[in-house]
Amino acid sequence: MSPRGRVRNRREVLARATRWATLGLLGGLVAGAAARDRRLRRQGICPNQGLCAGCGVLGRCDLPPARQARSNRGIDDDR
């Protein structure tokens, strides 16, 4: 009887290593994308490539193209 959590064969080791490597890669990609968006917003650059119409943060964005898009759409701009 093998202890609980013990690896039994090479195939299982490779499967676990691949699973953890993939999880780490995905986590790194998400963290990198979030950091990029924060950096671009701090610099005043739109992370959505200037496409304000479908942007989820249009109502609270302070960039000039977003203000223009809100005024064109008739959204009340109280700023």
- pLDDT of 5: 62
Q: What is the predicted pLDDT for the residue at 79? A: 47
- Which of 40, 35, 78 has the alpha carbon at shortest distance from 59? 78
Which tokens sit at 37? 């968006």
The secondary structure of 12-55 as a DSSP string is: HHHHHHHHHHHHHHHHHHHHHHHHHHHHHHHHT--TTTT--TT-
pLDDT number for residue 66 = 80
Residue 77 confidence (pLDDT) above 60: no
Mean pLDDT along residues 68-76: 73
Return the amino acid letter for 63: L
Tokens found for residue 67: 């203000």
- DSSP 8-state symbol, 68: H
pLDDT value of position 6: 66
* Residue that has been written with the tokens 């223009």 in this structure: 68
- pLDDT in the model for residue 65: 79
Contact assessment for residue 46 and residue 65, using Cβ atoms and an 8 Å cutoff: yes
Domain ranges within the chain, ordered by starting residue: 8-45, 48-79
pLDDT digits (tens, 9 = 90+) for 2-42: 555 666 788 999 999 999 999 999 999 999 998 988 887 78
